[in-house]
Structure 1
């Protein structure tokens, strides 16, 4: 009996030693596989970005969205897929901010005016002569100052603007042939403005008598002399056919406007560092396309309006800027929420 017990114990010990001997081999194989994987680098996980805009096909901002999709998908080797929705087919303009905050949309175009509802200091970017020109605007918002602005938006609203795309610059368009050189040239001019306190303040700061009229009624108001003029970017003057009932345009550059492609912050943080850089690179290519399209169209329209019989004049931008901004700064109700450090940085870039 003792012999059988000894034999059984010996057999158990042999199996135990075999198991101990084979275990390191399995560990070595696992470690080798792991090391091999890390050499190649972890593969980016697949992600889908839902990009919703109200722009229509043919619009520069639609074309920019499609450029972003093309570049992001190509550079990521397909790990980034961009689903695009245009013409407000997924979310209307007044729904977009809530959609990107909730994550129902991943990327939308935002404007300073929409974002200022939750971050009132951003309203300063809708003020007259915050920017004197396109070059001033893009240097500020697509540079270090813009990054500071965008980071504040992330902290306050949980969404991240990525770039500033050029929207257009508002100019003065009058029924009569009148050159507007300095603000005093607008004295006595009934200038149509959108019906809001901010817009009416801008009209008064420009030196005019601001007159609120709905956009849908503006053509008739110009035709009948209810107002003496209106302000809009040049593409709007063409598309709304205001040139048919006006005689002059003065290039005042009083509001250089932009839209900010904005991504849900949680979605942004879910991307790998490599994917984040691809998104930024793709968005920069989209911005360049958008800006070039809008700038070239504005330049072409100057000649178009001249051919249609309108005279085009060029205002003293520095004179306008100095006087208009002074009126904003004098109005403490208007500027109470502004971030004056950021304001000063932007103005310094315009000198």
Structure 2
């Protein structure tokens, strides 16, 4: 009895990292989003669907909030075989350079063009290189909310930037593009942005609406300028070895369910974007229609100069869609 109590205590303490399952096959999916995020809701649906369709033979355990480590940690764990699935995007360019196209400024004019790229030859080329270079197989993709510029004055054209200090992530391409647009871009950790805006060290920042809300930037910024300068997508991936170990019927169930999940997530994302706009307006932010064509035209040269030959080829393919 004493030994049984000890085992139960250990199992309880390790509940977040160890799950007893009666399924024939169990997969661990770790990602960075929280429980309320549409990505998490989508992969939870995937887990429920595969469990039901496989009659309990295949189970996917979901670990949100970086429980299995950050994005690169989980990718490494999948490659080592200690995790199985994750959600990842342009970070994969650390191995597969074509994955940079998942988040290039002004690559896409709208969601329709993005979908054509993701579902077409551009997407296939990116997915092929990801699998070849990382051993990860993309099984579905999610469109992410566009990145927009916030500020304390309306920004309708690049001329309105006029040397404005602007926080950007530590990505050389982002620095080059905003410099070309006339701003003064400052690479900075995301955790420092709110205080820097509050103190006036920087005058603006750029992020999707979801992060503008979650970081409470509406408390220190008055305007959301609809530059929509980055439209991007992200993949749900599984290790190729892990996928190959599944029987053919379970592989089919997983891949079919993943496509259903993709449609489900897209519906959630569209509804979430509407709710985010309403929320930010209620918090006092004003939405400004920026001249996206003018921004794109002025940023184009900086974008093209930053891309290598194979990236530029894909970028040019996208422009023809």
- TM-score, scaled to structure 1: 0.78
The match for 1:74 is 52
Aligned length: 299
Is 1:162 aligned to residue 139 of structure 2? Answer: yes
The match for 1:139 is 116
Larger Rg: 1
**1:269-280 counterparts in 2 under 5 A?**
269-280=244-255
The match for 1:342 is 314
Contact 2:146 2:230 in 1 (8 A): yes
- TM-score, scaled to structure 2: 0.85
Structure 1 residue 265: deviation in Å?
0.8
Match of 1:52 among 30, 34, 56: 30
Distance change in 2, residues 1:341/1:196 (3 Å): closer
**1:237-276 counterparts in 2 under 5 A?**
237-276=212-251
Q: Provide the rounded CA distance (Å) in 1 between the counterparts of 2:64 and 2:283.
A: 33
The match for 2:84 is 106
Q: Provide the rounded CA distance (Å) in 1 between the counterparts of 2:277 and 2:116.
A: 24
Contact 1:194 1:213 in 2 (8 A): yes
The secondary structure found in structure 1 opposite 2:145 is strand
Is 1:297 aligned to residue 288 of structure 2? Answer: no
The secondary structure found in structure 2 opposite 1:140 is helix
Unpaired runs of 5+ residues, structure 1, are: 1-44
Contact 1:50 1:84 in 2 (8 A): yes
Please list the CA deviations of residues 263-285 of structure 1 after superposition, one character each: whole Å capped at 9, or x if unmatched: 11112223344333322221122
Structure 1 residue 239: deviation in Å?
1.5
Q: CA RMSD in A?
A: 2.2
Structure 1 residue 56: deviation in Å?
1.9
Distance change in 2, residues 1:298/1:337 (3 Å): same
Return structure 1 stretches of 4+ with deviation > 4 angstroms.
none
Unpaired runs of 5+ residues, structure 2, are: 1-22
